């Protein structure tokens, strides 16, 4: 299953997918498996790294442990992923309809950067390759960090109110 179904899809993801085109911020920290795979598939003649071997072993273990419920995991992951971006689309539409959206200019300017993350889960690759526990978890961690934390801060920080509050919080904590 891993060799016949998932590894060829990973090769396509790394060579022709979003990861081959985009330089996502903090990808080394949040998606180490994808970084290892990309390095391997870009230069397959180089010696294998231990980190890649460990990641593939972790993937195989995760697949074997979850094989009985894999279809449920895939279905739930796709649903949660879709709802995340449905919620962002809904918020974007509401902000566009506001007559006086002086404060939301930053929101409107930063929204396309956050919506770019929708490309991570496009259904052009096999769902087992995209939504297995290790890769699906990586996608969700990336979306949670960048889309919710960094992107969310950029979206609501129109007048630096978030940064001021966080600076005050940290100053008062000391």
pTM above 0.85, yes or no: no
Average pLDDT over residues 123-137: 82
pLDDT at 150 over 70: no
State how far the Cα of 12 lies from the Cα of 5, in Å rounded to an integer.
Answer: 12
Q: Which of 93, 90, 85, 58 is nearest to 148 (CA)?
A: 85
pLDDT tens per residue across span 60-104: 888 888 888 988 999 999 999 889 888 888 877 877 777 665 555
- DSSP string for residues in 120-159: GG-TTS-HHHHHSHHHHHHHHHHIIIIIIIIHHHHHH-TT
Q: Report CA-CA distances (Å) from 170 to 45, 120, 132, 153, 164.
A: 49, 34, 39, 17, 10
Q: Which of 17, 28, 18 is nearest to 145 (CA)?
A: 28
Average pLDDT over residues 25-37: 79
pLDDT of residue 85: 86
Tokens 């920290």 correspond to what residue?
29
Q: Work out the pLDDT band at 51, boundaries 50, 70, 90.
A: confident
Pairwise pLDDT comparison (168 vs 99), residue with the higher score? 168
Contact (Cβ atoms closer than 8 angstroms) between residue 133 and residue 66:
yes
pLDDT of residue 72: 93
- What is the dihedral angle through the alpha carbons of 83, 85, 86, 89, rounded to the nearest 10 degrees? 160
pLDDT of residue 100: 61
Average pLDDT over residues 110-119: 75
Average pLDDT over residues 102-128: 72
Average pLDDT over residues 93-116: 68
State how far the Cα of 119 lies from the Cα of 9, in Å rounded to an integer.
Answer: 16
Element (H, E) at 116: none
């Amino acid at each position: 299953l891993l060799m016949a179904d998932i590894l060829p899809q990973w090769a396509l993801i790394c060579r022709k997918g979003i990861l081959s085109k985009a330089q996502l911020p903090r990808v080394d920290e949040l998606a180490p498996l994808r970084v290892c795979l990309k390095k391997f598939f870009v230069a397959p003649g180089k010696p294998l790294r231990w980190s890649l071997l460990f990641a593939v072993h972790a993937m195989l273990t995760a697949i074997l442990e979850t094989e009985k419920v894999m279809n449920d995991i895939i279905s739930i992951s796709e649903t949660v992923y879709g709802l995340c971006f449905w919620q962002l689309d809904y918020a974007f539409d509401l902000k566009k309809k506001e007559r006086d959206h002086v404060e939301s200019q930053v929101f409107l300017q930063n929204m396309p950067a956050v919506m770019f993350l929708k490309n991570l889960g496009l259904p052009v690759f096999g769902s087992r390759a995209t939504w297995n526990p290790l890769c699906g978890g990586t996608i969700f961690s990336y979306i949670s960090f960048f889309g919710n934390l960094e992107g969310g801060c950029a979206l609501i920080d129109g007048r630096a109110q978030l940064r001021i509050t966080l600076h005050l919080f940290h100053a008062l904590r000391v």
